Amino acid sequence: MTTQEEQQRYTNGLVTYRDAYEQFPVPVCLMPCDADGAVQLRVMCEPDYRVRLMRAVFGSEYRLPPRELSCCDTMMPDGTAAVLGLDMDARRIREANTQAQQHTGKPVAVFVRKCQVKPVWQLLAGYPIPLYSIKDEVLLDTFSWRELLAIPPLDGYRTPEGQFVDEEAIHRYADAHRVARKKR
């Protein structure tokens, strides 16, 4: 048996996440299933989030990268290429690093939230990439948010009379109004 056949037999045809990730042709953004992931998704829903955040971080020092650094988001004042890694698209970060190494001779600088530093560091193990943390206040200011996440009240929603709104009451209300409309 060949090594490939042995592996196929051993894994029952299943593919590791890493192998699937490497073969998948579209961007894959890793996201934790917690409040940090919800903030990450909220940022990614903002129009032009990359440019807006990098402008907020660099202010008047913000510069578009040259065409040959298409995966990068800005150039730092010292000539280092930089990429926003907040969306956790490791393939894009690696490609930005390859481009930066080829054209500037330096590794790309990656900007993430503080809670993402360790996962990105692990994800990019073996790459000597400097990581910078973006404070949550920058997100709040850049996107004019009052808070990172809008958490619904824990006690549910209430009617003007102070009673809890529940699914059953909503259906009864909808059914009553449907019947009233049909009679008209």
Band the pLDDT of 156: cuts 50, 70, 90. Answer: low
Share of the chain above pLDDT 90, in %: 48
For residue 122, is pLDDT > 90? Answer: no
Q: What is the mean pLDDT of residues 126-146?
A: 91
Contact 90, 18 (CB under 8 A): no
Give me the residue spans of the domains in the chain. 28-151, 153-184
Residue 144's CB is within 10 A of a number of other CB atoms, namely: 6
Band the pLDDT of 163: cuts 50, 70, 90. Answer: confident
Average pLDDT, rounded, for the chain? 84
Look at 3-12, 101-110, 141-150 and tell me which has the smallest mean pLDDT.
3-12
113 Cβ neighbours under 8 A, 6+ residues apart:
36, 39, 40, 86, 133, 134, 136, 139
Q: What is the mean pLDDT of residues 82-100?
A: 91
In 9-99, beta strands by DSSP E: 74-75, 81-84
For residue 123, is pLDDT > 90? Answer: no
Q: What is the mean pLDDT of residues 104-122?
A: 91
For residue 7, the model assigns a pLDDT of 60
For residue 1, is pLDDT > 60? Answer: no
Q: What are 47-78's pLDDT values in tens digits? A: 999 999 999 999 999 999 999 999 999 999 99
In 123-175, beta strands by DSSP E: 131-134
Residue 167's CB is within 10 A of a number of other CB atoms, namely: 7
Residue 105's CB is within 10 A of a number of other CB atoms, namely: 8
85 Cβ neighbours under 8 A, 6+ residues apart:
93, 110, 111, 112, 116, 120, 131
Look at 53-57, 75-79, 93-97, 164-168 and tell me which has the smallest mean pLDDT.
164-168
* Terminal Cα distance for the chain, rounded: 77
Q: Which pTM value belongs to this model?
A: 0.72
Report d(CA 89, CA 27) in Å as an integer: 7
Q: What are 6-55's pLDDT values in tens digits? A: 565 556 777 777 777 777 777 778 888 899 999 999 999 999 999 999 99
